[in-house]
Structure formats: structure tokens, C-alpha cells
Amino acid sequence: MTATSTIDGRLAPSVNTIIAGCDALKDAAEDVAAAGRSIVETCRKVSDVMSALGVDALSDRSSFGAVPMAMKAIVASASKYVDAKTGVSLKQWAEFVSSAQTCFDRYLDNLNQIAAAAERHEGAALDPEQLRKDKRIIEDTQLQTKLWRPMMTRLPQLSGVVEALLASKSEPAPKDELSDEKQGWGSKLKGAVDKVKEHVVDEHGEILRSLLGPVSDLRHRISQLHQDVEQMSTCMFELEDLLELQATQIQITLGDIQGRQAEILGQRITVAIVIPRLRKRLTRASQQVDQYQGYLQKLEAIRPRAGLSETVYSALSCEYEAALESAAVAVRSCKAEVASWRVIGRQLLEANQTWLHEERAAVTAREMIGQLPANQARERLAGIGRELRRTEEARRLLVDA
């Protein structure tokens, strides 16, 4: 679809917008990584408990000996509860948790490469070959993000697994009932086995409590799991949107995309990256002004009782005054940049909003006539909704800054 505005050269993808995009991606990647680490730590603790129970290696354990028999009884009881609670076996959950950790470690490597791109481009001319490498990293990260999402939908069910493990601690191991035809000698053998099991559990109850103790420690982490997953999901949507914008502007910078599409992208980059980063720089510079003003005031206040010599006092004063001036210059520069954006800001934001509404109508129409599958339409409409919210946020930033 088309927009109805005339955009000046500041909106064209350039060295500055590439660097701003890298900077935004670095922050987004770090947010995803931070949220993901908390989730994976929970997975690791669940995995440790399952390993302690020998869930992934029961077939290799001997049937003889007190501890193996007690372990089998506990795992049998836990498996029954987990199956009933989640519909998935305890062994399958152990495999899922292990797979989730491996998948996230690989994903984290991609996120680290995304973050490194910001430092690589800082203060350097853009190298076409390096941009192509960055684009491949972005595409790989987009793929890994899509692979991670299905796992995200299953992670909250781990709370059911942990609760089932906790519930199983107080339940006796399931007993196999013998049919009437197997009474007699078989019944006596069964009674003897039950007595052995009871003896084993009594004698080694302390061992079992030490093995299952870590499950109780998971209660707090599991209670936070839903919130962690929701936080990571939100961060991932932000990352995905920025990855798509960055990949497209690299294509335009390399000359792979031209014309009206480049102009539309300029609007989207300004809304999603340039204006928010400008506000961030202004906020950071303003905080530094306050910080160094505070240092100077406190230095003056403590000077008498600290017994500072004139040399030390002068050195610290000069250091803080220089930093204060540098921050003040940055504040003035950012405010001037905000003022310049305000000149075209209203037109830009209205044009972008118009284009997004047209895109939403087009996506809905494509779904209705069967050109676009329902799941793809939902995903695209959700993305348009996020961009519309960013447009409103950018409008507020220009007004409030």
C-alpha cells in the first residue's frame, strides 16, 4: 500500500539509521537474553531434580539394592501424577527440558552476535560485505526465534510437572493388583515384595527426602515462571519487529530495494528506532547533568570535614565540571534534534498511521479472499497493532521531550 506524504532525506536509510538500528537491537537482544536466562535457570533446576530421580536412565539401573528400589517407587508415583496432570510422561518432560536448554543456548549465541554488531559499526564506515554478514545473522536469529516460540507455549506447564512431583512425595507407590487366578503362591510372593518395599522406604526415607528436597526449592521459581514467559514473549515481539526493520534497511542500503518501499521503511524506522533512541539519549544526558551537579554540590559540602587539600579539591572540581559541560552539550544537541523532528513529526506520524491502517485493511481483505492463511494474517495484524502503538508513543515523545 502507499502513503501520502513527502519525506525529506533524513528518513532515508543511512549510516546513522543502521547504527541506530544496531543499538536498538542490542538493547532488545539483551532484554530477551535476560528474560530467557531466568526461564532456563528454572528449567535447569527441574532437570537437576529429574536427573536425581534417574528419570532419564531408569532402564540402566539395577533392580537390586535399597536405593534403586526406593527410587523406582518414587519415580513410578511421580510419573503417575505427572501423566494425570499434564498428559505427558515424566520422561518426555525430561527430554523437553533438556531440549529447551540446548535450544536457548544456541539462541543466546545468536543474540550475542546481534549485540556485537552495534559495537562493530560504531564510528566506522559501512562495509557492504559486513552488512551482508549482518543480514545473515539477522535471518538466522529470526529463524531461531521462530523455533523457540513453540517451546515458550509449553514452558508454563512445567508448574504442573513440579506440583505433580511435590504431590507424589506423600503418595505410596502404585501397587499391581493380582487377578483371582494368580492367588496362592503369587499372592504370598506379592505380599513379601510389598513388605520389602515398605522396609526400603522406611529405611531409606531420609535418602529420598534429600533427593526430592530440591523440588520444594522450585516453588518460588515456578510461581514466577508465567511472568517470566510473558516478559520474554513481549521482548521477543519487540526483537522480531526490529530484526525485520534492520534486515530491510540493509537491503535498501545495499541497493536491493528501491522506490516507494524505501520511503515507507524510512517512516517505520523513524517511528520505531530513531525517535525512541533520541529520547533515550536525551534522558541519559539529562541524568548525567543531574548526577554531576550533585557531585559538585556534595564535594563542596564535604570539603571542610574531609580536610581536602586545594590540589585534590581542584582536581575533582575540574573533573566534574568537565563532565557536566559535556552532558549539558549533549542535552542541548538532543533538544535541538527533537525540535527539528517536530517540524516534520506531525506529517510523518500521520503518514505512517495512514499507511498502517491501509495495510491492516489490505491484510484483512487478503485473508477474506483466501490469499493469506488465517495464522499469517493474525501474525501480521498483531505486528501492525504494535507499530500503531509505537506511532502513538513517538507522538508523545516529540510532544513531551
Radius of gyration of the chain (CA): 30
Please give the C-alpha separations between residue 317 and each of 113, 287, 307, 330, in angstroms, as whole numbers.
40, 19, 15, 20
Give the Cα separation of 53 and 207 in Å (integer).
Answer: 11
Please give the C-alpha separations between residue 252 and each of 14, 246, 339, in angstroms, as whole numbers.
9, 10, 28
Contacts of 23 (CB under 8 A, 6+ apart): 118, 277
Q: How far apart are the first and last CA of the chain?
A: 32
Pick from 301, 387, 399: which is nearest to 351 by CA?
A: 387
Q: What percent of the chain has pLDDT over 90?
A: 22
Mean pLDDT to the nearest integer, 170-185? 47
Of the two residues 40 and 5, the one the predictor is more confident about is 40
Residue range 145-164, pLDDT digits in tens: 888 888 888 888 887 777 77
Q: Is the pLDDT of residue 187 over 80?
A: no
Residue range 49-95, pLDDT digits in tens: 777 766 654 444 444 444 456 566 667 777 777 787 778 888 888 88
Q: Is the pLDDT of residue 7 over 50?
A: no
Least confident piece of the model among 125-129, 264-268, 289-293, 349-353: 125-129
Give the Cα separation of 241 and 229 in Å (integer).
Answer: 18
Where are the domains positioned within the chain?
10-258, 261-400
pTM value? 0.70
Cα torsion angle, 191, 196, 200, 202, sign: positive
pLDDT of residue 343: 80
In the chain, the amino acid numbered 235 is C
Mean pLDDT to the nearest integer, 178-194? 48
Give the Cα separation of 13 and 273 in Å (integer).
Answer: 12
- In the numeric block, the cell 502513503 is attached to 3
Residue range 26-40, pLDDT digits in tens: 888 888 888 888 888
* 3-state DSSP helix/strand/coil % of the chain, to nearest 5: 85, 0, 15
* H/E stretch holding 191: helix 185-203
pLDDT of residue 214: 57
Q: Convert 173-189 to b/e letters by CB count within 10 Å (16 or more is b).
A: beeeeeeeeeeeeeeee
